[in-house]
Amino acid sequence: MGRDSLKSSTPEPSGTFPKLWSDQDLSKLPVGVEQTMERSVLEAGVAEWCERFPDVPMRQTLFRDRPVRHLLDMADEAQMIVIGSRGRGGFSWMTLGSTSAALVHITPCPLLIAGPIRPER
């Protein structure tokens, strides 16, 4: 039996993921609409990978927690944690964001921090 892989994403208004925020008052939406929207974003974010690697088992889970805490909770059952580094801190000299900087010191399994693909020079 294979181990679960974990994909964590924090949607942002950069165009990387569909926006999950709105200037409109969404408090009157029926219960469950927000979670349905979040599920759609999650499924769209992993669809390409599911098609490219159909033999890799995947479990998709929505959660509301601090990323470091949730990733650590799941790390005990993981062979490896893979997270992205998008450099959103605003300082070009910083190579790690707050999540990867925290995880690099305390994960119980290997940690891979993948940066953005850069065009060849």
Please give the residue range of the domain that contains residue 35. 29-62
- Tell me: pLDDT of 6 over 50: no
Q: Is residue 8 part of a domain?
A: no
In a domain, 1, yes or no: no
- Which positions ≥6 away from 99 have C-beta within 8 Å? 67, 68, 71, 83
So what's the pLDDT on residue 36? 85
Mind listing the pLDDT tens digit for each residue in 53-107?
A: 999 887 788 887 888 898 898 888 888 888 887 655 555 555 667 888 889 889 9
pTM: 0.58
Domain assignment of residue 4, yes or no: no
Verify that 72 and 91 share a domain, yes or no: yes
Distances (CA, A) of 87 to 1, 84, 90, 95, 120: 35, 9, 7, 7, 19
Q: How many domains does the chain have?
A: 2
Q: What is the pLDDT of residues 14-38, one digit of tens each?
A: 444 444 455 566 667 777 777 888 8
Q: Verify that 38 and 76 share a domain, yes or no.
A: no
pLDDT score at 51: 92
Query: What CATH number did the domain enclosing 79 receive?
Result: 3.40.50.620
Q: Does any domain span residue 84?
A: yes
